[in-house]
């Protein structure tokens, strides 16, 4: 599983880091984010890239898991 921590980064950096991470075509990826905008953008990118996405929210942090379909 590829893990990526984009907490504290301003847009578009979370999206750019996620794009770079999925270029390696991991079967599963976990992205840690702390903003709603980053969450929305990362989820959209993962879904458009063929991943099934689940989101776990804890306080103001998001654990976004993508599994290749």
Is-catalytic flag, 11?
yes
Give, in order, the Cα–Cα distances in Å from 46 to each of 24, 53, 56, 59. Answer: 13, 7, 15, 23
- Dist CA 9 CA 67 (whole Å): 23
Domain residue limits, the chain: 2-68
- Dist CA 69 CA 61 (whole Å): 25
The structure's pTM equals 0.94
Q: Which position among 3, 5, 10, 11 bears the catalytic label? A: 11
Q: How many CB atoms sit inside 10 A of residue 27's CB? A: 10
pLDDT in tens, the chain (69 residues): 999 999 999 989 999 999 999 998 999 999 999 999 999 999 999 999 999 999 999 988 999 999 998
For 2-68, the fitting CATH number among 3.30.43.10, 3.40.50.970, 3.30.110.40, 3.30.465.10 is 3.30.110.40
């Amino acid at each position: 599983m590829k893990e990526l921590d984009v907490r504290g980064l301003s847009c578009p950096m979370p999206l750019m880091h996620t794009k770079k991470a999925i270029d390696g075509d991991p079967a599963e990826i976990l992205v840690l984010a702390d903003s709603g905008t980053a969450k929305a953008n990362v989820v959209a990118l993962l879904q458009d890239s063929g991943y099934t996405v689940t989101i776990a929210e804890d306080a103001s942090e998001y654990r976004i898991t993508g599994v290749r379909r």
